[in-house]
Amino acid sequence: MGSKGRAWKFGDNITTDHITPSRYMHLRSNLFELSKHAFEDIRPEFSSSVKPGDIIVAGRNFGAGSSREHAPIVIKTLGVSAVIAKSFARIFYRNAINIGLPPVICDTSTINDGDLVELDLQEGIVKNLSNKAEVKFKPLPEEIVRILSEGGIVNYVKKHGGLDKF
Amino acid sequence: MGQTLVEKILSRKCGRYIGAGEIIIVGGLDCVFTHDASGPLVISRLNELGGGIGLDPSRVCVFIDHVVPSPSASISNDYKALKGFALEKGVRFHDQGCGVCHQLIAEYYASPGDIIIGSDSHTTMAGAFGAFATGMGASDVAIALKTGMTWLRVPESMRISVEGRLPKGVFSKDVILKIIGMIGAEGANYKSMEFHGSAIRRMNMEERMTITNMAVEAGAKCGLIPPDEETRKYLEERGRGDKYFKIEPDGDAIYSDEISIEASDLEPMIALPHNVDNVVPVEEVLGKRVDVVFFGSCTNGRMEDFKVIDKIIGGERIDRGVRAIATPASRNVYLQALKAGIIERLASAGVVITPPGCGLCIGVVGGIPADDEVVLSTANRNFLGRAGNPKAHIYLSSPATAAASALYGAITDPREAM
């Protein structure tokens, strides 16, 4: 599993309110409309400019705050192929895996906004094609890769008949 | 090997020794809940799984609390669907006006040793009862509903000890703000925060809930307080005395971190915009003009909080430049405050009273601030845009600091007003 795309660089402590502002709660049954407001308060151009395959690159504690699964969903809905961050908030990390959006923990300091980035989840390597920098990371556990490749935890449970079939 | 409180709770449920770092699948969930903000997605996930729920419906709750009363047809339609779901499945339904989910979980459901899964991050609050309570996303909650099980990575534990007596004017909110400021927004990421010490034992249940509610603001998976006589008293007053039992960590339990705090050294604290860990003593921002004061939320919208607010404001008129909004955390709190005359005194002081629910904390209805306005809130989050306007500036404090500041129209040390 892997992907290639432009980096959208964010700083530390990006919260679920940055990703999906609480004031748009009335759009939570309309995920497509909700995704148009992703990162609106910090990067208003994000939802209209992001291209399928692009990668979000962030600092520490990405996805802090709410348990709203809508946060990784809108990121995936807009075509983002992965989120790479120095660290993730616990609930966001779990939600991202559950909905099939790969969260990768690694040093992101050599990646700049707009760089072309290639990600190999199995090998555990991020290649910055713009400045030739390479960063290694601990590959995701096999169970997590399986959940991601089957499109998320709900599909996984449907296919395998329960949680105890890991 | 000695066990932490979270290891004890999970071992009891699983019927075997459980240690930090293990991945476990646990059944016998005591309570699984969702609410208006995430409920529609939970139902859609459950339908993807074939519908149907695999646990006793009396252990499942649906709350309408985030946006009440509904301001629009589309939100009302979501609520109608949630109510329909609850009636069809025979699960507990708490409609608009009953209160914030976490407060109702405390009033009606949580007991020591329980496992509680909610589709809301502040589910950690029920840890004040010695229950393992954690927030999850819609898929996890739907799977818990469908299978009656969930998977967990057993967290490492951080032992936080608060010893001694809190000075006058310093409250449990100041304690947890101080801790979050010390360890940072991811200081307890993935961990269980275990709170001990004489200052914690001296707090009543309502005060303790403020602490476990905000454990998630340091990234914690759960925030736990060992049950004691205060827990028993709270449960007995609500007809659940039989649910009480003692569960506590072993003396030789292994902790990843240990923090000791001397209660008498503490002072009123405040979180500055736009992060909860951006904490300084109130003293550093004295005199800062305040436009909106919000008294409420699952963190600080309880009777104990309203008593403190009432003691400071009494019948005095709040500053005329301030819009103050009070939102009781539940209907029970509302009725108690009403009977005690507090609601009447606050209303005559110029405070707007809104129906029980999340109110301004979530920022869809209930007094959204204007651009550049300063909001002083007793809630748990001050993220950019949180009160409904990304151009506003949100500060977080204890109800006492908020009440004193409402009186004077500027950030005020509550010790001056008590």
Residue whose C-alpha is closest to residue B10's, from B155, B120, B161, B211: B155
Same fold, B5-262 and B269-417: yes
Size of interface A-B (CB pairs under 8 A): 135
Handedness of CA B76, B36, A66, B151 (dihedral sign): negative
Round to whole Å and give the CA distance between B240 and B358: 26
Closest CA–CA distance from residue A165 to any residue of chain B (Å): 10
Residue A26, pLDDT score: 85
Residue B322, pLDDT score: 98
- Residue whose pair of structure tokens reads 């967990």 in the numeric block: B152
Residue B255, pLDDT score: 98
Mean pLDDT of chain B: 97
Q: Which site among A91, A101, A147, A150 would you substitute to test the B interface, given the most B Cβ atoms closer than 10 Å to its Cβ?
A: A91
Average pLDDT over residues A46-74: 97
Residue whose C-alpha is closest to residue A18's, from B335, B289, B381, B266: B381
Residue A129, pLDDT score: 97
Q: Which pair of structure tokens corresponds to residue B263?
A: 């209660």
- Asked if residues B410 and B392 have their Cβ atoms less than 8 Å apart, the reply is no
pLDDT classification of B219: cutoffs 50, 70, 90: very high
Instruction: Decide if pLDDT at B59 tops 90.
Output: yes
Instruction: Decide if pLDDT at B57 tops 70.
Output: yes
Partner A contacted by B275 (CB < 8 A): yes
Residue-wise pLDDT for B371-416, tens only, equals 999 999 999 999 999 999 999 999 999 999 999 999 999 999 999 9
Residue A25, pLDDT score: 86
- Higher-pLDDT residue of B28 and A160 is B28
B 340-399 near A (Cβ less than 8 A): 362-364, 368, 381, 383-386, 388-390
Q: Given an 8 Å threshold on Cβ–Cβ distance, is B189 in contact with A61?
A: yes
Instruction: Decide if pLDDT at B171 tops 70.
Output: yes
Q: For B368-401, b where at least 16 C-beta lie within 10 A, e where not — what string? A: bbeeebbbbbbbbbbbbbbbbbbebbbbbbbbbb
Residue boundaries of the structural domains of chain B = 5-262, 269-417
Q: Given an 8 Å threshold on Cβ–Cβ distance, is A22 in contact with B185?
A: no
Q: Which residues of A touch B147 (CB under 8 A)?
A: 157, 162-163
pLDDT classification of B174: cutoffs 50, 70, 90: very high
Residue-wise pLDDT for B94-125, tens only, equals 999 999 999 999 999 999 999 999 999 999 99
CATH of domain B5-262: 3.30.499.10
Q: Given an 8 Å threshold on Cβ–Cβ distance, is A157 in contact with B119?
A: no
Q: Given an 8 Å threshold on Cβ–Cβ distance, is B384 in contact with A157?
A: no
* Domain A2-138 grouped into CATH 3.30.200.20: no
DSSP state of B8: H
- Residue B267: other Cβ atoms inside 10 A: 15
Which secondary structure element, helix H or strand E, spans residue B107, and what is its range?
A: helix B101-108
Instruction: Decide if pLDDT at B329 tops 80.
Output: yes
3-state secondary structure of B177: helix
Which secondary structure element, helix H or strand E, spans residue B108, and what is its range?
A: helix B101-108
- Asked if residues B100 and B301 have their Cβ atoms less than 8 Å apart, the reply is yes
- ipTM of the complex in this document: 0.96
Residue A143, pLDDT score: 83
- Give percent of chain B with pLDDT exceeding 70: 100
Residue A165, pLDDT score: 58
- Asked if residues B169 and B414 have their Cβ atoms less than 8 Å apart, the reply is yes
Round to whole Å and give the CA distance between B376 and B329: 17
Find the largest Cα–Cα distance for chain A: 46
Q: Given an 8 Å threshold on Cβ–Cβ distance, is B66 in contact with A25?
A: yes
Q: Which pair of structure tokens corresponds to residue B65?
A: 């609390």
Round to whole Å and give the CA distance between B322 and B312: 16
- Asked if residues A50 and A1 have their Cβ atoms less than 8 Å apart, the reply is no
- Residue B341: other Cβ atoms inside 10 A: 11
B 18-37 near A (Cβ less than 8 A): 25, 37
Q: Which site among A33, A43, A66 would you substitute to test the B interface, given the most B Cβ atoms closer than 10 Å to its Cβ?
A: A66
Instruction: Decide if pLDDT at A1 tops 90.
Output: no
Q: Which residues of B touch A153 (CB under 8 A)?
A: 139-140, 143
- Asked if residues B124 and B135 have their Cβ atoms less than 8 Å apart, the reply is yes
Q: Given an 8 Å threshold on Cβ–Cβ distance, is B72 in contact with A66?
A: no
- Asked if residues B402 and B295 have their Cβ atoms less than 8 Å apart, the reply is yes
Minimal Cβ distance to B363: which of A22, A29, A89: A22
CA angle A72, A77, A81 (to 5 degrees): 75
pLDDT classification of B343: cutoffs 50, 70, 90: very high
Q: Which residues contact B38 (CB under 8 A, 6 or more apart)?
A: A28, A67, A68, A69, A70, B119, B120, B137, B138, B141
Residue B1, pLDDT score: 85
- Asked if residues B82 and B40 have their Cβ atoms less than 8 Å apart, the reply is yes
Residue B286, pLDDT score: 98
Predicted TM-score (pTM) of the model is 0.97
Q: Which site among B116, B139, B380 would you substitute to test the A interface, given the most A Cβ atoms closer than 10 Å to its Cβ?
A: B139
Residue-wise pLDDT for B207-216, tens only, equals 999 999 999 9
Q: Which residues of B touch A95 (CB under 8 A)?
A: 136-137, 139-140
- Give percent of chain A with pLDDT exceeding 70: 98
CATH fold of the domain at B269-417: Aconitase; domain 3 (3.30.499)
Average pLDDT over residues B280-295: 98
The full DSSP string for B319-383 is PTT-EEEEE-SBHHHHHHHHHTTHHHHHHHTTEEE--SSSGGGTTSSS-PPPTT-EEEESSS---
- Higher-pLDDT residue of B272 and A165 is B272
pLDDT classification of A166: cutoffs 50, 70, 90: low
